[in-house]
Structure 1
Amino acid sequence: FWKMDGLGVHEVIIETPHHHKDFDNLSIGNIVLILKTYRQRYLDLSKDKRIKYILIFKNYGIDGGASLEHPHSQLIATPIIPQRIKEELKGAKEYFDLKGRCIFCDYIKREIKSKNRLIKETEKYVAISPFAARFPFETWILPKCHSARYEETSDNNILSLARIMKETLFRINKKLNNPPYNFIIHTAPPKEFSSREWPDLDKKYHWHIEIIPRLTKIAGFEWGTGFYINTTSPEAAARILNSI
């Protein structure tokens, strides 16, 4: 069998000294510090040439996979690009090669125009219930201005991101009775590596945050096929989250 060394990094990011404060109950200033910490860890670990991908995520609640009660996020850096990310990169490249445009930028424009799945729009970001949502109330937050890399987000844009994240998570918690959830930041691989393996990636990919409330279980059909059964349409989810 082919194998490789188990190289990587795993960090726990403590979000607040307060033991029982959920993310949406933190102050904007506190969330800004968290998001800036994410950015700094991306920038620092991207210097390590052995690292091919850096994933930051949050598990909230027992069913969300949280193993520590104190509010925290996690970072895991790996020596390979995860398959899910590869598929996103490949899809973005194929669309760009065909259309000459970023698929995420086109997607954002269409969702803003239709408004059917739009949860929140600000000057710099949108929160959307994605058209092909895998899970009930799955929500994506995307920057409206094209950007492939979270770590290049300016201080001003991080402030705007903190506001829309707080508002979006507040709506999810209010409407769904404080559900367990995960959020994940999907961003481009470190620039030095991706410039060799994925030329012009900065034109083709678009970083975003995926929020997944854990309201249903993944069972045999999902594991066996990779298809997901979503019992709540994204249009219905957006209407419910917009009713606050």
Structure 2
Amino acid sequence: MPELRREPVSGCWIIVATERATRPSDFKTNQQIIKSSFCPFCEGNEDKTPPEILAYRDNGAMPDTGGWRVRVVPNKFPALQIEGEENKCVEGIYDMMSGIGAHEVIIESPRHIQSLTSLENGNVKEVLLCYRDRLVDLKNDKRFVYGLLFKNVGASAGASLEHTHSQLIVTPIVPQLVANEMENARIFYQQRERCLFCDMIDQEIDTDRRIVFLTDNFVAFAPFASRFPFEIWILPKNHKSHFENLQEFELDELANVLKGVLGRLETALDLPPYNYIIHSAPFNVTESEFFHWHIEIIPRLTNIAGFEWGTGFYINPTLPEEAAELLRKQ
């Protein structure tokens, strides 16, 4: 029988329709192969991208040349532009402002590889370090209040190039989804004087039914009310509201966890398209007692259709407990 589950962070209700469930091998992702005779992200093609913002390089290597390990460039077709001011205005009931912000691409390897899992742990750590460095730098710009790091893998997940990369978009306003998460977490904290995410971590570790990966400082699990089949969240065990406040040893461990979880998904689901998103507290919020940064990994195995758009409900044909059990075995 179908089951309704409430996701406490977003407040959304999820329908787990187990009678619609299929085996992992039965999911048809219809992933479109991204083919191109030329890749601007490969080493040697540095002049085909905008000038780099940041790169981790071998000693003596000049900017916008080879010899780099991770490289950050402005998006060639940015959603928001770095120049300008807010220029807020209204037109009747409608609010408007200039489209200022930042839109950057993090090129994760000079080699033409398709997955972060093809990198050594040390290289994955440098990607995460690059995320941290860019957030720290951009939060100094007082026009900006939020930075979203995300990765699209596969054409059906929004990627236009197969070369492994991720993106950072910084906005002058807090996205509504993040604002809703923070408000729900704040209400929980006011009522119980505890962090919602910390309670979630404790309960998941205690029940041990949805855990996928567990280390000294991080936990990865299938959320109780997973919106999508094989959705996985990664959270630090110790309370932290801002991703950019991670310490060096935590980045080492997180690299191992992220690579491990993605590798299990790729093995179990035969290289599925997916997105991951890092939810962190806004720049203009000091260390928060009630918000907890986290990574959401969403394999693109099902489509959102009319019911989902019309109600805000998601229909998940796979029990998160079964998804976690399968991934633990990989």
- For normalisation by structure 2, the TM-score amounts to 0.71
Provide the C-alpha distance between the structure 2 equivalents of 1:141 and 1:26, rounded to a whole number of angstroms. 19
TM-fit CA distance, 1:50: 0.8
Aligned partners of 2:134 and 2:178: how far apart in 1?
19
Equivalent residues of 2:222, 2:232 under 8 A apart: yes
Question: Where do residues 48-63 of structure 1 align in structure 2 (5 Å cutoff)?
Answer: 48-63=141-156
Matched, 1:230 2:316: yes
For 1:114 and 1:103, the matched residues in 2 are separated by: 16
Aligned to 1:203: 289
Letter in 2 for 1:215: L
Q: Structure 1: where are the runs of 5+ without partners? A: 196-200
Give the C-alpha shift of residue 33 in structure 1.
0.5
Instruction: Please give the alpha-carbon distance, in whole angstroms, between the structure 1 residues aligned to 2:311 and 2:242.
Output: 31
Partner of 1:198: none
2:258 alignment partner, SS class: helix
CA distance in 1, matches of 2:323, 2:144: 37
Report the Cα offset of residue 48 of structure 1: 0.8
Summarize deviations over 1:166-210 as a string: whole Å, max 9, x none.
1100000000000000000000000xx224xxxxx6111000000
Q: Choose from 257, 269, 275 the match for 1:176.
A: 269
* TM-score normalised over the length of structure 1: 0.95
More helix by share: 1
Shift >2 Å, 4+ stretches: none
The counterpart of 1:73, out of the listed 166, 181, 186, is 166
Amino acid paired to 1:224: G
In structure 1, C-alpha distance between the alignment counterparts of 2:118 and 2:196, rounded to whole Å? 33
CA distance in 1, matches of 2:197, 2:263: 25
- 1:147 matched to 2:240: yes
TM-superposed CA distance for 1:39, in Å, is 0.2
- 8 Å CA contact retained: 2:228, 2:316: yes
CA RMSD in angstroms comes to: 0.9
Match of 2:285 in 1: 194
Structure 1 residue 226, shift from structure 2 partner: 1.1
Letter matched to residue 133 of structure 2: Q
Q: CA deviation at 1:20?
A: 2.0
Q: Residue 177 of structure 1 aligns to which amino acid in structure 2?
A: D
Instruction: Measure the CA separation in 1 of the matches of 2:258 and 2:95.
Output: 41
Matched, 1:136 2:229: yes
Q: CA deviation at 1:21?
A: 4.0
Q: After superposition, what is the alpha-carbon deviation per residue over 1:127-175, rounded to whole angstroms, capped at 9, x for unaligned?
A: 0000011000000000001100100000000000000111100000000
Matched, 1:242 2:242: no
Matched residue type, 2:100:
L
Kindly provide the CA deviation profile for residues 94-145 of structure 1, in whole angstroms up to 9, marking residues without a partner as x.
0001111111001000000000111111001000000011000000000001
Deviation track 1:30-77 (CA, whole Å, cap 9, x = no partner) reads 101000000000100011111111000000001111012211100000
Please state whether the residue corresponding to 1:7 is helix, strand or coil: coil
Q: After TM superposition, list the pairs within 5 Å mapping 1:15-34 onto structure 2.
A: 15-34=108-127
Please state whether the residue corresponding to 2:315 is helix, strand or coil. coil
Work out the CA distance in 2 between the residues paired with 1:227 and 1:25.
35
Query: Match for residue 49 of structure 2?
Result: none
2:298 is aligned, of 212, 221, 227, to: 212
Identity of paired residues, percent?
50
Give 3-state SS (helix, strand or coil) of 2:289's partner. Answer: helix
CA distance in structure 1 between the aligned counterparts of 2:277 and 2:296, rounded to whole angstroms: 5
Whether the 8 Å contact between 2:114 and 2:162 is mirrored in structure 1 is no
- Tell me by how many angstroms 1:18 deviates: 1.0
Deviation at 1:25, TM superposition (A): 1.6
Counterpart amino acid of residue 211 in structure 1: I
Deviation at 1:2, TM superposition (A): 2.1
Q: Which has the larger radius of gyration?
A: 2
The answer on whether the counterparts of 2:219 and 2:236 sit within 8 Å (CA) in structure 1 is yes
Gaps of 5+ in 2: 1-93
**SS of corresponding position for 2:298:** strand
Give the AA of the match of 1:107: M
Residue aligned with 2:125, SS: helix
- Which residue among 177, 192, 207 is the counterpart of 1:99? 192
